[in-house]
Amino acid sequence: MINILIIEDDANIAKMIKAALAMVDYNSFCCNDGRSGAAEALKGGYDIVLLDIMLPEMDGWQVMEKIKDSGIPVIFLTALQDVADKVKGLRLGAEDYIVKPFEPLELLARIDVVLRREHKTSSLLSYCDIEIDIDKHTITSHGEPVYLTPKEFDVIVYFVQHLDIAVSRESLLSNIWGFEFGGESRTVDIHVQQVRRKLGLKDKLITIPKLGYRLESCDSQ
Amino acid sequence: MKLWQKIFLSSLLLIIAVVNIVSIMLLGNSHRLLIEREQSHAVNEHEYFTTAFINTVTYEKLAKNSLTLKVSEIGKAAESTVNSVSRTVNSAIYYSTYASAALKMPNNLNKQIHEELLDNIDLSCNEYTILTLESENKHFMTVGSAAQLDGELYYIVTATDITEIFNLRKRQSDFVREISIISSAVISLILLVITITLLKPLNRLNIYTKAIAGGQYNIRILKKGSREFCELADNMNIMADAVQSHALHLEKIAESRQTFIANLAHEMKTPLTSILGFGDLLRIKKKVTDSERIEYAAVIVEETKRLRSLSEKLMELVVLGGTEIEKKPVDLPKLIGDAETALTPLLTKRNISLITDTEKITIEADEELFKSLLYNIIENAVKASPDNSEIILKAKRNKDKAVISVADHGIGMTKEETERVFEPFYMADKSRSRKAGGAGLGLALCAEIAKLHNSVLKIDSSLGKGTTVYIEMHEVKSK
């Protein structure tokens, strides 16, 4: 189980982050000022700290200074958009820097990247009869290997990691093809169709009008 | 051409010209005096010679015992006079036919005398004709006169060598030329040094001015050199002061705008984060329970209201900045009563009592704006106060001013917080005032309203004990 510490003074934002994390079954704990947040982080037991910068009592930079020796990966969440602030944050040892306002899925994606880098997530995923080994880049359905292109592989991994969540084409594009990819949502549709066909997920990987796709959990029907 | 070059060259030329003109005039003058002296000398000699000649002729007449002498005899007399008298001067006696009766003259001079002098001799025998002639690099002063002897006209000419005078003049002018060249060199050197030293402060001023113009506004020019330069340096320093203070002022304005915008962005992004987050969650989650839906939507509504209040306050601030207010006499007790009524729901909710103590004062104010100022300040006091406490509102006359004070027994603020409290978006206690729905613009608005009334807000606060806000307004004297 992944434990995440949220240090954020705005109660509503903290609530929103908590709800987003709960969606992918991450545990979270909130602190609403810098001092108690730093103390809580140093207690240990957290896999990631989400840290706001403008905090009462002690600002995010100071909290970062205090907890960076503990080795907990930190992602800054802030309204400051200055490149200089970004550089400062990363130089202090933060893993990432997310500018408010952000979409919950973006936050989850950034958290995933950090967790994978830290090897906190298992490289083995399973969904119904499908077994995925992310490290070996292999996928089997009913024990039979299925051959997917690298992007198709990324697509199915993303859906399995975000079970029961409606994923927009834009999210898929930015998370799998990268933010800079200038492709169209048509590319996404083609890949999703290929994945559906190759893995026989016609009823599970459903299209949601005006939004995108959702992979329904196995036992939901 | 640079200034120092101009000054240097023009003074040098002037000095050289004056020196040369003066020396040429002096030389000319002394030459003329010498010539004049020589003239009188020559005339004397001539007179002496003439007398000697006449005497010789008379003597001959006596010796021969005859009344007249023959031309040849006079010629002989002339010959002897020329030979005996004129050892010091050259002399000659001519007949009227220009033939020489007796001659002791250099050949060339003789020729010139024939050509230039003899024709001009005054035949009436009253005046001498004086002429300076040059012959073979020698200068002669020739004096001529005419004499009538026994029916025959004779020209008598004497010539004095005055070459020495001309040589002297030449030597002197050569000397003057040498001296003027040497002195010009020395003077130009001295002038150069003087000009450069005198204009040195100008150079320094130039360097400093360039530095100031280049943006180093903190530089001040050292006062050195002559008085004009000191004055100039003073004035430039005054200018630099003005430039610096203006630059600082502009910098401050730019900085406060920057802070304002940064704060505004932050204040807008915070509610937007919650709205976007919960909105997206509602959209992408497959199953949303009823309680979750209500919770999420409640946050969205709450944060949207916060944005609305922020934009309203911002609009007020912007509109206030550019308005001319309409001041009218306002009855202060009535206005306070109105505010009290408007605030009653807020006060009863927290069980806070507002105690008013107002004298009957009429002030000059824009009623609506002033009401909003008062409302904002009382609202702030309510926010800071604990439940079941009291807020004291006083309006007292102080000389010709009305002093309105609002005091609470709330949480108070530190000195640092008090100083910053009028800054837009500044919140002494962020989480508390957010919960109370504040955008951090209320006091900035109040300060703006007070400014429009030519007044300032003063805040007296101590942490844990409470805060008092004072407003000073001009009273309208009732007639």
Same domain, A95 and A184: no
Structural domain includes residue A87: yes
pLDDT at A19: 92
Same domain, A99 and A151: no
Is it the case that residue B250 has pLDDT exceeding 80?
yes
Contacts of B316 by beta carbon, 8 Å cutoff, 6+ apart: B445
Structural domain includes residue A35: yes
**What are the phi and psi torsion angles at A67 (to 5°)?**
-105, 0
Domain of A63, CATH number, reads 3.40.50.2300
Same domain, A92 and A172: no
Same domain, A204 and A107: no
Q: Which candidate from B270, B277, B284 shows the least CB-CB separation from A165?
A: B284
- Of B73, B85, B82, B88, which Cα lies nearest the Cα of B102? B82
pLDDT at A183: 65
Length of chain B: 479
Q: How far apart are the first and last CA of chain B?
A: 75
Is it the case that residue B432 has pLDDT exceeding 60?
no
CATH of B324-474 among 3.30.565.10, 3.40.50.10680, 3.40.50.300, 1.20.910.10: 3.30.565.10
Q: What angle do CA B6, B10, B16 make, to 5 degrees?
A: 150
Same domain, A172 and A111: no
SS3 B395: strand
Strands A74-78 and A48-52: parallel
Rounded CA separation B462/B471 (Å): 18
Structural domain includes residue A221: no
Is it the case that residue A221 has pLDDT exceeding 50?
no
Contacts of B128 by beta carbon, 8 Å cutoff, 6+ apart: B43, B46, B122, B143, B144, B145
CA A117 to centroid of chain Cα atoms = 12
Domain ranges of chain B: 3-169, 222-271, 324-474
Which residues in chain B have their CB less than 8 angstroms from residue A11's CB? 431, 435
- Of B391, B336, B390, which Cα lies nearest the Cα of B359? B336
DSSP string, B304-325: HHHHHHHHHHHHHHHHHHTPPP
Torsion of CA B253, B254, B256, B258, to 10 degrees: 160
Tell me if B286 and A80 make a contact (CB, 8 A cut-off).
no
Same domain, A150 and A77: no
Q: Would you call the peptide bond into A101 cis, given omega within 30 degrees of 0 as the criterion?
A: yes
Contacts of B92 by beta carbon, 8 Å cutoff, 6+ apart: B82, B100, B102, B103, B104, B105, B110, B113, B156, B157, B158, B159
Residue with tokens 């000059």: B364
Residue with tokens 């009291």: B390
Tell me if B274 and A104 make a contact (CB, 8 A cut-off).
no
SS3 B153: strand
Same domain, A22 and A112: yes
Q: What percent of chain A has pLDDT over 70?
A: 96
Written as six digits, the tokens of A185 are: 């949502």
Tell me if A164 and B273 make a contact (CB, 8 A cut-off).
no
pLDDT in tens, B392-430: 888 888 877 888 888 888 888 888 888 878 777 777 666
pLDDT in tens, B321-332: 767 777 888 888
Tell me if B284 and A166 make a contact (CB, 8 A cut-off).
yes
Structural domain includes residue A220: no
Is it the case that residue B86 has pLDDT exceeding 60?
no
pLDDT at A180: 62
Same domain, A38 and A82: yes
Same domain, A27 and A98: yes
Q: Which of A75-89, B30-44, B226-240, B406-420 has the highest mean pLDDT?
A: B30-44
With beta carbons less than 8 A apart as the criterion, state whether A19 and A64 touch. no
Q: At B334, is the pLDDT very low, low, confident or very high (cuts 50, 70, 90)?
A: confident
pLDDT at B50: 85
Report the amino acid identity of residue B435. K
SS3 B220: coil
Over residues A89-99, mean pLDDT: 85
Domain boundary among A117, A140, A159: A117
Domain extent at residue A37: 3-117
Tell me if A101 and B286 make a contact (CB, 8 A cut-off).
no
Domain boundary among A69, A96, A117: A117
Q: Which of B258, B267, B270, B414 best tests the A interface by mutation, with the highest count of A CBs <10 A?
A: B270
pLDDT at B479: 45
Chain B stretch 182-221, residues whose beta carbon is closer than 8 A to a beta carbon of chain A: none
pLDDT in tens, B139-162: 888 888 888 877 778 888 888 888
Rounded CA separation A174/A160 (Å): 17
pLDDT in tens, A19-44: 999 988 899 999 988 889 999 999 88
pTM of the model: 0.58
Per mean pLDDT, which range of A69-73, A178-182, B67-71, B242-246 is the poorest? A178-182
How high is the mean pLDDT of chain B?
83
Domain of A189, CATH number, reads 1.10.10.10
Structural domain includes residue A194: yes
Rounded CA separation A79/A98 (Å): 9
B259 → chain A, closest CA residue:
A80
- Element spanning B200, H or E: helix B163-213
Same domain, A113 and A128: no
- Dihedral sign, Cα of residue B225, residue B231, residue B232, residue B237: positive
Q: Do domains B3-169 and B324-474 have the same CATH topology?
A: no
Q: Which of A7, A28, A36, A100 best tests the B interface by mutation, with the highest count of B CBs <10 A?
A: A100
pLDDT at B431: 56
Residue A151: half-sphere exposure toward Cβ, Cα within 13 Å:
15
DSSP string, B83-134: HHHTTSSEEEEEETTS-EEEEES-HHHHHHIIIIIGGG--TTSSS-EEEEEE
Chain A nearest CA to B437, separation (Å):
12
CATH number 3.30.450 is the correct assignment for the domain at B3-169:
yes
With beta carbons less than 8 A apart as the criterion, state whether B266 and A54 touch. yes
With beta carbons less than 8 A apart as the criterion, state whether B132 and B140 touch. yes
Q: Is A128 exposed, middle or buried (0-12, 13-18, 19+ CB in 10 A)?
A: middle
- Of B363, B392, B379, which Cα lies nearest the Cα of B450? B363
pLDDT in tens, B178-197: 988 898 889 889 988 988 88
With beta carbons less than 8 A apart as the criterion, state whether A29 and A48 touch. no
Phi-psi region of B298 (alpha: psi -120 to 50; beta: other; left: phi over 0): alpha
With beta carbons less than 8 A apart as the criterion, state whether B414 and B476 touch. no
Written as six digits, the tokens of A156 are: 């199915």
Tell me if A168 and B284 make a contact (CB, 8 A cut-off).
yes
Count up the domains in chain A and report the number: 2
**What are the phi and psi torsion angles at B22 (to 5°)?**
-60, -45
Domain boundary among A117, A136, A156: A117
pLDDT at B413: 83
Tell me if B283 and A211 make a contact (CB, 8 A cut-off).
yes
Chain B nearest CA to A9, separation (Å):
7
pLDDT at B425: 74
Q: At A55, is the pLDDT very low, low, confident or very high (cuts 50, 70, 90)?
A: confident
With beta carbons less than 8 A apart as the criterion, state whether B162 and B139 touch. yes
Rounded CA separation B371/B342 (Å): 10
Torsion of CA B141, B145, B150, B152, to 10 degrees: 80
- ipTM of the predicted structure? 0.82
Same domain, A43 and A146: no
